[in-house]
Structure 1
């Protein structure tokens, strides 16, 4: 191999020692770094020796490179020389890196793009989502620890506003499990469902995108670990609260637009769904099959309500004739699919929502006559004509109502945007919340906190009151 540096006392180099090449139209000489000494400190009276990087080849013109030039001057020439770029395979040797440990998907690192290349890119860790079913809100925990729970009170002031939905919110429901009751479920026309921490931080804990069209109905399972949703995409879904953000456990083809869902109180694996169809279907989520069908001469089902024990349920339909409201409310036997009664409600108004009293054997039906009617849960399910909860407006919206945990209060939304609270025993309105500017379609009273309530409106806003 030829020598890189010519010394003053060396003999004249041969043509083989300095090879001539042409680069950019100039006659050049290629310097090989393999024969350069690694000493960097020159001895007294000796020539300077240079150790350029082994992977860089320098080019200089022939007139600039003189074999008789002293070593120190040659070093300066090499510093000012132009690096000659060679193919990557000839320059770099294969680098042997240690094996990388396996990183779970949720903790995987994402490289950040930078304007300059770097062997050590900046990395950012994705935020790891904490489990939401293992934590207990301090506010809820304090109420659960009391020996004598406080009586239900009237919500009067705004605690927080929850913004995040891009469409009307159809329903809001607190988790029925006491120690998880700080979780609030919302379903929206923007095709999503959300679970919020509505007692402490007001953060959205989970976003569920299981449907391709508007989510019309949603409810919690009996144990609070799953969600049941119904959508205009003609499907119903069973979703795990912790892990089912985009993929439900079971997705069922209902073959009609689902308007309402209801969980069986004693069989958590069974739920009902109804909608734009004369058929109400009972699904078993263990095998994703229809176990029962309930047929009636109606066009659609507006709401479903299991009575205490689950042996019977009530369906609300849109069937209203000119002279009577036959089949507006229908009582069914769950086991035999037999129709028990369809002469429960005789007035010519449809009932967009139903609510079961938590203590007494009675339920209420929200009517488009701008009042709520009270019915008995015992056959023949007679309507109480002495009690009527009125003073709010429905005007064709699917306004929902709910009871407090002890059954002393009844709350309802209104098409005017207000939320109204009634005394159940006297049927008198005790308070009105100026909640929203758009129609307030759902009010949910908290099952543990005595004065807490959640409301939602047609503009996509959710508010929590205490």
Structure 2
């Protein structure tokens, strides 16, 4: 094994090692999730040299410089106020979802008008219209971090794979017997998973377009799908009140997470894949040990359905969105409620952290999106102007651009 070069990853903080083994170029990451601006660099270097044989003493000065760069980025103050950059009259019917590519240079919108559109973030110009579905395009995803492919899942029971650069359709995945409502790429971009109202999820080969396996076992529709960072496991959340963790290679079930008393709305791994968070219509969120499948905490406090959950990059904080018009911030380890996010006047359907972990974004039926400080729970900014409910929102990788998608048929870019 020979180390070729280092790549820096700002969010979450880490150093990617590119190395050669048996004539092949491979990568592995040194995650520095606990790094702070005041962390002792020598202590971090000692830890890395003990654990990582690829980093020899001669490379230590390089690594020191990279760690200091990461610390500078973490120390940068963020008092950015967002302004409305552009309103995109994106579709002739309401939007269903929005998503950025990794760099944030492009984003996609799905719609009831049966299309998905690809947009240039910097100019707000439409790059491509992906046409071919015969019903609502509901689930959309980029193959991040690469961003050269897009998957679209439709109520027409098919999923299509497209080139984000040319708009060409590579494959149409057929096999589901009901609407496809969620889709995701594994981080390696070799497979796509689709979840359907037919109670199954399917795994597809990106290269060949062939079905690899059908994940069977749920007794109601699957509405949430999420891969772990290694890409060897996928979790499915279902209206049957359970979440199942699957082995991607064999298609077999690893765990079923049983304990919720209502439909699952959202299921997510944290960054290091040690924890899984699930939100449910039973007004609670649960934290599970991803290794054993055991429930290790129930997060209570919401007075209505929990509609979305999101970890920050450290996996220490969890934000929730609820139909009770509030968001909450919990400590994912102690399960304590740290902050209540109050101010919206309608249900909150989406919540996410910015990549830096120092802002929370919520989208609400009250036609506004809000930015919050996770440390204080204070609302920092209200993004107003949509004329109908906002059901989708996202940050770009740098955290300096936001998109919001609304039932008013428009998408707004905020900078």
For Structure 1 versus Structure 2, the TM-score category normalised by the shorter chain is 0.5 to 0.7
Instruction: Tell me which residue corresponds to 1:379.
Output: 292
Q: Is the 8 A contact 1:358 1:406 kept in 2?
A: no
Q: Is the 8 A contact 2:143 2:150 kept in 1?
A: yes
Residues 28-43 of structure 1 aligned to structure 2 (within 5 Å): none
Residues 403-442 of structure 1 aligned to structure 2 (within 5 Å): 403-424=353-374, 431-434=381-384, 436-442=386-392
Say which of 377, 390, 393 aligns to 2:323. Answer: 393
Pairwise CA distance, 1:257:
1.4
Say which of 138, 152, 158 aligns to 1:235. Answer: 158
Instruction: Tell me which residue corresponds to 1:330.
Output: 244
In structure 2, stretches of 5+ residues that fail to align are 1-68, 301-316, 326-345
User: 2: CA distance between counterparts of 1:305 and 1:369?
Assistant: 21
Distance 1:281 1:203, change over 3 A: same
Task: Report SS of the residue matched to 1:352.
Answer: strand
Residues 26-425 of structure 1 aligned to structure 2 (within 5 Å): 148-149=72-73, 150=76, 156-176=82-102, 178=103, 181-198=104-121, 200-222=122-144, 223-244=146-167, 247-255=168-176, 256-266=178-188, 268-319=189-240, 325=241, 327=242, 329-343=243-257, 346-358=259-271, 361-362=274-275, 364-368=277-281, 377-380=290-293, 382-383=296-297, 385=299, 389=319, 392-393=322-323, 399-424=349-374
Instruction: Tell me which residue corresponds to 2:402.
Output: 453
Larger radius of gyration: 1
Pairwise CA distance, 1:162:
1.2
Q: Is the 8 A contact 2:200 2:217 kept in 1?
A: yes
User: 1: CA distance between counterparts of 2:109 and 2:248?
Assistant: 28
Pairwise CA distance, 1:338:
2.9
User: 2: CA distance between counterparts of 1:397 and 1:248?
Assistant: 36
User: 2: CA distance between counterparts of 1:294 and 1:398?
Assistant: 31
Q: Is the 8 A contact 1:168 1:460 kept in 2?
A: yes
User: 1: CA distance between counterparts of 2:229 and 2:375?
Assistant: 20
Instruction: Tell me which residue corresponds to 1:39.
Output: none
User: 1: CA distance between counterparts of 2:273 and 2:380?
Assistant: 21
User: 1: CA distance between counterparts of 2:203 and 2:238?
Assistant: 17
When the two structures are superposed, what TM-score results if normalisation uses the length of structure 1?
Answer: 0.58
In structure 1, stretches of 5+ residues that fail to align are 1-145, 320-324
Give a deviation string over 1:10-31, Cα, whole Å, max 9, x none.
xxxxxxxxxxxxxxxxxxxxxx
Q: Is the 8 A contact 2:159 2:174 kept in 1?
A: yes
Pairwise CA distance, 1:313:
1.9
Q: Is the 8 A contact 2:403 2:411 kept in 1?
A: yes
Q: Is the 8 A contact 1:369 1:394 kept in 2?
A: no
When the two structures are superposed, what TM-score results if normalisation uses the length of structure 2?
Answer: 0.64
User: 2: CA distance between counterparts of 1:359 and 1:424?
Assistant: 21
User: 2: CA distance between counterparts of 1:151 and 1:364?
Assistant: 29
Q: Is the 8 A contact 2:260 2:280 kept in 1?
A: no
* More strand as a share of residues: 2
Q: Is the 8 A contact 1:352 1:399 kept in 2?
A: no
Distance 1:190 1:437, change over 3 A: same
User: 2: CA distance between counterparts of 1:151 and 1:372?
Assistant: 31
Give a deviation string over 1:348-367, Cα, whole Å, max 9, x none.
33333445545785455454
Task: Report SS of the residue matched to 1:399.
Answer: strand
Pairwise CA distance, 1:219:
0.6
Q: Is the 8 A contact 2:285 2:298 kept in 1?
A: no
User: Number of matched residues?
Assistant: 305
Task: Report SS of the residue matched to 2:226.
Answer: strand
Distance 1:410 1:309, change over 3 A: farther
Q: Is the 8 A contact 1:151 1:406 kept in 2?
A: no
User: 2: CA distance between counterparts of 1:233 and 1:398?
Assistant: 28
Q: Is the 8 A contact 1:401 1:412 kept in 2?
A: yes
Q: Is the 8 A contact 1:352 1:398 kept in 2?
A: no
User: 1: CA distance between counterparts of 2:148 and 2:382?
Assistant: 34
